Amino acid sequence: MAKKKGTVHIDHNRCKLCGICVSICPVQNYKINQHKLKELGKCIACMQCERYCPDMALIIDTKDGKDTPTG
């Protein structure tokens, strides 16, 4: 699983900076900086943030193109 890589798409128009993704991400891939959600390129495609985001602002693309959540 650790080898898997995800590409994070953030819809900044939808994101309300609630911080759920920041706290839930197992590899600390998110940061809120100057009122903007930033991702740090460490995504392992666990899908937790996409699933819990209350505002449907995150989409994680996995490297192999599959969207099946692991974990």
Partner 1 sequence: MTRKLTYLNYLKQDLLPTQWCPGCGNGIVLKLACQSLEELNFPKKGTVVVSGIGCAGRSAGFFNLDSVHTAHGRAIPVAEGIKLANEKLNVIVISGDGDLLGIGGNHLLHASRRNTDISIICIANAIYGMTGGQYSPTTELGSKTLTTPSGNTDTPIDVQALIKAHNCFYARSTTYHLKHAMKCMVEALKHRGLSFAEIKTQCITNDGRRRGFKNGYEMLMYYKDNYKINNNSNELKHNEIGIVG
Rule CB under 6 A: is residue 37 a binding residue for ligand SF4? no
Binding of residue 44 to ligand SF4 (CB under 6 A) = yes
Asked whether 58 and 16 are in contact (CB, 8 A), the reply is no
Q: Which of the listed partners (partner 1, ligand SF4, none) does 46 bind, with a CB threshold of 5 to 8 Å by partner kind?
A: ligand SF4
Pairing of strands 36-39, 6-10: unpaired
42 vs 61, beta carbon nearer partner 1? 61
Q: Restricting to residues 2-21, which ones interact with ligand SF4 according to CB under 6 A?
A: 6, 8
DSSP H helices in the chain: 20-24, 48-52
